[in-house]
């Protein structure tokens, strides 16, 4: 039976007393009840955060900061309560190797799914238990305040206004990492909050491999004589029509509006759970393809969230694996579907209906336009599929050095500009299009950026496996299905191999089960070298 997200199960019927003579199953159920309670608080915080970025009047920030801070500390208290630790210890003693040491051993063991749940509860418990409640509350309040300051600073091109808030958040997150593990690299500790299953060294190695592939490929494209067709999509495209087009794209892909909604925000994002998952996008009247791409990207996030098991809401089995896997779903739809010829065979007639001035556009025009490489583009969320990862690399190196104490906040703008010049051959004209363009640091989300590239790598590996399996089956191949607007086979493959598992498997195991191989950059590098080699007539 599905768990109602508005009324998480009450654990009062089972006393959380490790000394009670209950079974392992009862102890496990008591832990699960506690997990549902703190996840309900987290879910409520998510709705308030969504509202702050989408609907809340600007003057609401002082109250919202206090509200989010209170919920953050409540979630922390529920997670780190003595009862949680006692239950984890009791389960540990009653199961596995420890059970053999008990004279009253009843032969109790956890199932594989139950063991995964305990593992996933233990990880955040041990991290949260090491951090004082006051610090958690201070971080929440500081990030809420920083968000509104960042929005104004970005609009005014005023890094100095945001700098004190960024400095405070860096200091607070360093303190957080120190509490979690004082003997380790603080950035590695923070990275684990977003990708707990892959070590930072593995992430750095993948980023290095991407740089080794992409920099020479982009240089070759820059020198290529090929001129892709893009002028067909130049002009003015009213925001109202773009929003209608975005909704049609979501309908085509299969977004469930009964469990979600589409809104506009300064920075597109997705938030929610399997019962209520909302997406936002943004519009540029001179660039309708950007809004289509960002909307499809957020659809991928939402499809994953909507596909998580409803019966396990509020538990690790009903939660996403981590941000790398989440990003793989958005990048899979944005790039492997939304930037394909097959997709535009189906979607271009819809585009023309909304924008008759583009009635002469061909499928090849659309395909070339959405895949044009723009080394001179300074905005990450508007970046092409290749240069995007160099944008990520600049941010990763800056935030890593900030957290490690190797870079001062005051030096961020110049370091940012130097990074763009080194990797992309350009310098931002101002801080608004430079170091102020992303929302993540205003949330204190240091360690988040590498998951974007890790997700893109994973997306290529998953899509290649899905395509091979679907093409080998009965019926049309995957390209033919996409061209016909039929996404059912792809949705089914992703649900079977990714979505339905929640957080049962760790990242490498999930990817291995889906594709037969652990996470690797090989599928991604093969994909981009083949696709862009053909588009720009260049060799890898």
354 annotated binding-site participant: no
Instruction: Taking the CA atoms of 149, 269, 131 and 15 in sequence, report the sign of the dihedral they define.
Output: positive
CB 504 within 8 A of CB 317: yes
Q: Name the residue with tokens 């299009």.
A: 433
Q: How far from 399 is each of 171, 188, 235, CA to CA, in Å?
A: 12, 11, 37
474 annotated binding-site participant: no
Task: Give φ, ψ of 262 to 5 degrees.
Answer: -115, 130
Alpha carbon 445 to its chain centroid, in Å, reads: 12
What are the residues facing 272 on neighbouring strands? 277
Helix, strand, coil distribution of the chain in percent, nearest 5: 65, 0, 30
326 annotated binding-site participant: no
Residue in 141, 192, 298, 368 annotated catalytic: 298
Q: Name the residue with tokens 């960042």.
A: 150
Catalytic status, residue 298: yes
CA distance 36 to 42: 10
Reduced to 3 states (helix: H, G, I; strand: E, B; else coil), residue 334 is helix
In the structure encoding, which two tokens stand for residue 113, read together?
């799914």
CB atoms within 10 A of CB 509: 14
| Helix-helix angle 450-472:200-223, to 10 degrees | 80
CA distance 377 to 424: 9
Strand runs labelled E in 131-218:
none
In the structure encoding, which two tokens stand for residue 508, read together?
């490498």
Q: Name the residue with tokens 């260049």.
A: 538
Q: Name the residue with tokens 């990074």.
A: 419
- Give the torsion through C-alpha atoms of 535, 536, 539, 540, to 10 deg: -80
Annotated binding site: 297, 301, 327
Residues serving a catalytic function are 298
Annotated binding site for Zn(2+): 297, 301, 327
């Amino acid at each position: 039976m599905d768990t109602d997200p508005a009324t998480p199960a009450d654990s009062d019927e089972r006393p959380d007393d490790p000394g009670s003579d209950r079974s392992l199953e009862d102890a496990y159920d008591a832990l699960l009840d506690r997990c549902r309670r703190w996840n309900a608080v987290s879910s409520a915080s998510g709705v308030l955060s969504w509202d702050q970025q989408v609907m809340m009047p600007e003057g609401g920030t002082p109250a919202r900061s206090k509200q989010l801070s209170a919920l953050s500390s409540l979630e922390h208290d529920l997670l780190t309560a003595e009862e949680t630790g006692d239950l984890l210890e009791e389960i540990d003693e009653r199961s596995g190797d420890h059970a053999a040491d008990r004279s009253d051993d009843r032969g109790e063991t956890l199932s594989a799914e139950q063991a995964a749940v305990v593992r996933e509860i233990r990880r955040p418990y041990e991290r949260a238990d090491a951090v004082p409640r006051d610090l958690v509350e201070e971080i929440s309040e500081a990030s809420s305040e920083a968000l509104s300051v960042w929005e104004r600073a970005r609009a005014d091109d005023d890094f100095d206004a945001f700098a004190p808030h960024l400095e405070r958040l860096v200091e607070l997150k360093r303190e957080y990492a120190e509490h979690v593990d004082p003997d380790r690299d603080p950035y590695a500790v923070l990275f684990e909050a977003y990708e707990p299953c892959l070590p930072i060294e593995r992430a750095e190695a993948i980023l290095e491999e991407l740089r080794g592939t992409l920099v020479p490929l982009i240089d070759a494209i820059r020198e290529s004589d090929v001129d892709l067709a893009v002028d067909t999509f130049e002009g003015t495209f009213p925001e109202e029509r773009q929003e209608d087009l975005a909704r049609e794209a979501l309908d085509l892909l299969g977004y469930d509006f009964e469990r979600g909604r589409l809104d506009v925000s300064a920075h597109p994002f997705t938030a929610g759970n399997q019962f209520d998952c909302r997406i936002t996008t943004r519009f540029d009247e001179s660039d309708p393809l950007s809004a289509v791409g960002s909307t499809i990207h957020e659809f991928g996030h939402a499809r994953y969230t909507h596909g998580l098991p409803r019966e396990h809401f509020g538990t690790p089995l009903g939660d996403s694996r981590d941000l790398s896997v989440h990003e793989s779903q958005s990048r899979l739809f944005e790039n492997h579907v939304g930037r394909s010829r097959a997709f535009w065979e189906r979607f271009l007639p819809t585009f023309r209906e909304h924008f008759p001035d583009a009635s002469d556009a061909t499928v090849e025009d659309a395909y070339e336009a959405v895949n044009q490489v723009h080394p001179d583009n300074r905005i990450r969320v508007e970046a092409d599929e290749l240069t995007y990862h160099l944008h990520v690399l600049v941010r990763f190196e800056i935030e890593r050095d900030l957290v490690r104490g190797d870079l001062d906040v005051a030096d961020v703008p110049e370091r940012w500009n130097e990074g763009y010049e080194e990797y992309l051959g350009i310098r931002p004209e101002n801080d608004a299009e430079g170091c102020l363009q992303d929302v993540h640091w205003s949330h204190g989300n240091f360690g988040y950026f590498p998951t974007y590239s890790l997700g893109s790598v994973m997306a290529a590996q998953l899509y290649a496996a899905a395509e091979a399996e679907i093409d080998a089956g009965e019926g049309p191949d995957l390209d033919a299905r996409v061209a016909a607007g039929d996404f059912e086979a792809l949705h089914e493959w992703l649900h079977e191999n990714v979505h339905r598992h929640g957080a049962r498997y760790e990242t490498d195991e999930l990817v291995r089960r889906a594709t037969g191989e652990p996470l690797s950059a090989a599928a991604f590098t093969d994909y981009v070298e083949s696709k862009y080699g053909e588009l720009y007539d260049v060799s890898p």
